[in-house]
C-alpha cells in the first residue's frame, strides 16, 4: 500500500480578517484546494491547501493580501484537518484476511510536519497513523443436481459400437457448474484409486485405467496470467493449482472434464460386461 497526504485544511482566528496570515495568498509548494472563506466579524479564516507535488512536497506558506509589508499578527489555529489517498492493490487480487500496518510522522521544526517559526502549543511531537483493511471474498461453486455421478460415455453413446461400428475414441463426461469468486483460491483432486498424477477407475477383476481430470473456468479467473481451459488438476493439497482473479466473477459457467483416452478405452473393451468405477474428489480451497 502507498499512502500520501493530499490536502490541508486550517481554521485560524486572528484579531481581524484582513491581517489573518492564512488569508488569502498561497505561496511555495501548495495551491488552493478549494475556495477560502473568512468572517470579518471575528477574524476567522477557513482555507484549504493542496501540495503541488505530494510525492516530494516543498514548503508552503501564505500571506495576507490586505496587510502591509512587515505586519506581524498572531493567529490561533482552531482546527487542522488533513486529506489523504490510500493506493492498494485491487482487493480481488488479495488473499482474504485482515491487513494491518502503521506509520509515524515527526511533528515540529525539521520534521515531517513543520509548521514554521514561532509556532507554540503543539499537542505532541509525533503522529502515528494506523491502518486496518479487512478483505472478505465471495466464494461459491454451485453444481446442478446429479453432479455427484459422472457416467463416462462415447460422444454419441454406445449405440454405434453395439451395432458393429468402430470402437469409441474416448470416454468422457463434462460436468457444468457456476462460480462466484472475488479473490484467489486453489484447486486439487483426491483419488480413490491413484495412478501417479492421474486418478483411476477399476472393475471387479482389479483391472484399472487412468482418468484425466481437468477444469475450465470463466475468463475472470486465471492461472499464471493465462485463461483456464481444460487445465489438468494435480493430486494432493501440496500440488494444488492457485488461481487468481483478473476481475470479480459472479455466477459464471465453468466445467469439470473427465476423460479416458483411446488406448485405455481399448483395454477396457477387452473386458466386456464389466463396470469400472472410482471416486474423484475435487477440492476448491479458498483458505490459502
Please state, in angstroms and rounded to a whole number, the distance separating the CA atoms of residues 192 and 238: 17
Domain that holds residue 154: 139-285
CA-to-CA distance for 62 and 71, rounded, in angstroms?
A: 13
Count of domains observed in the chain? 2
Residues 102 and 193 in one domain: no
pLDDT score recorded for residue 18? 85
Domain boundary among 104, 135, 166: 135
User: CATH number of the domain that 263 lies in?
Assistant: 2.60.40
Q: Among 120, 135, 150, where does a domain finish?
A: 135
The segments of the chain whose pLDDT lies below 50 read none
> Per residue, what are the HEC states of the chain?
CEEEEEEEEEEEEECCHHHCCCCEEEEECEEECCCCEEECCCCEEEEEEEECCCCCCCCEEEEECCCCCCCCCCEEEEEEEEEEEEECCCHHHCCCEEEEEEEEEEECCCCCECCCCCCCCCCCCEEEEEEEEEECCCEEEECCCCCCCCCCECCCCCHHHHCCCCCCCCEEEEEEEEEEECCCEEEEEEECCEECCEEEEECCCCCEEEEEEEEECCCCEEECCEECCCEECCECHHHCEEEEECCCEEEEEEEEEEEECHHHHHHHCCCCCCCCECCEEEEEECCC
78, 109: one domain: yes
- Claim to verify: residue 240 and residue 166 sit in the same structural domain: yes
Torsion of CA 170, 171, 173, 174, to 10 degrees: -10
**Do 143 and 255 share a domain, yes or no?**
yes
Q: Say yes or no: 207 and 268 in one domain.
A: yes
Burial of 277 by CB count in 10 Å (0-12 exposed, 13-18 middle, 19+ buried)? exposed
Same domain, 110 and 167: no
Q: What is the pTM of this model?
A: 0.65
Predicted confidence at residue 56, as pLDDT, reads 85
Same domain for 251 and 209, yes or no, is: yes
| Grid coordinates belonging to 184 | 484467489
Contacts with 239 (C-beta within 8 Å, 6 or more apart), sequence order:
188
Predicted local confidence at residue 273, as pLDDT = 86
- Note the pLDDT of residue 167: 78
pLDDT at residue 288, rounded to an integer: 57
Please check whether residues 269 and 143 belong to one and the same domain: yes
Please provide the distance, in angstroms rounded to a whole number, between the alpha carbons at the two ends of the chain. 21
Residue 117 burial (10 A CB sphere; 0-12, 13-18, 19+): exposed
Q: Are residues 144 and 257 in the same domain?
A: yes
> Of 41, 49, 37, which Cα lies nearest the Cα of 7?
49
Clarify whether residues 144 and 249 are in a common domain.
yes
Residue 281 sits in the same domain as residue 146: yes
Tens digit of each residue's pLDDT (9 = 90 or more) over 74-95: 889 999 899 999 999 888 888 8
Segment 142-174, tens digit of pLDDT? 999 999 999 999 987 877 777 677 778 899 999
Same domain, 11 and 104: yes
Domain boundary among 87, 104, 135: 135
Amino acid at each position: 500500500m502507498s499512502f500520501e497526504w493530499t490536502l490541508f485544511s486550517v481554521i485560524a482566528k486572528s484579531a481581524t480578517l484582513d491581517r489573518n496570515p492564512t488569508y488569502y495568498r498561497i505561496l511555495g509548494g501548495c495551491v488552493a484546494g478549494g475556495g477560502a472563506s473568512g468572517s470579518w466579524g471575528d477574524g476567522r479564516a477557513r482555507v484549504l491547501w493542496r501540495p503541488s507535488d505530494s510525492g516530494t512536497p516543498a514548503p508552503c506558506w501564505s500571506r495576507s493580501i490586505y496587510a502591509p509589508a512587515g505586519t506581524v499578527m498572531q493567529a490561533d489555529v482552531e482546527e487542522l484537518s488533513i486529506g489523504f489517498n490510500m493506493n492498494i492493490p485491487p482487493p480481488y487480487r488479495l488473499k482474504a484476511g485482515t491487513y494491518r500496518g502503521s506509520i509515524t510522522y515527526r511533528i515540529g521544526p525539521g520534521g515531517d510536519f513543520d509548521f514554521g517559526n514561532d509556532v507554540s502549543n503543539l499537542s505532541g511531537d509525533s503522529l502515528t497513523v494506523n491502518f486496518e483493511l479487512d478483505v472478505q471474498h465471495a466464494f461459491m461453486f454451485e453444481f446442478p443436481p446429479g453432479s455427484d455421478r459422472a457416467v463416462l460415455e462415447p460422444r454419441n453413446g454406445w449405440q454405434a459400437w453395439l451395432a458393429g461400428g468402430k470402437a469409441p475414441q474416448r470416454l468422457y463426461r463434462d460436468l457444468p457448474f457456476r462460480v462466484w469468486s472475488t479473490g484467489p483460491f486453489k484447486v486439487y483432486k483426491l483419488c480413490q484409486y491413484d495412478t501417479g498424477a492421474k486418478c483411476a477407475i477399476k472393475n471387479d477383476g482389479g483391472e484399472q485405467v487412468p482418468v484425466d481430470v481437468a477444469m475450465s473456468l470463466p475468463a475472470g479467473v486465471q492461472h499464471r496470467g493465462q485463461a483456464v481451459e481444460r487445465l489438468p488438476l494435480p493430486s494432493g493439497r501440496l500440488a494444488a493449482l492457485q488461481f487468481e482473479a483478473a476481475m470479480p466473477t459472479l455466477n459464471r459457467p465453468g466445467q469439470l472434464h473427465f476423460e479416458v483416452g483411446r488406448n485405455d478405452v481399448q483395454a477396457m473393451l477387452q473386458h466386456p460386461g464389466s463396470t469400472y468405477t472410482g471416486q474423484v474428489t475435487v477440492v476448491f480451497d479458498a483458505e490459502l
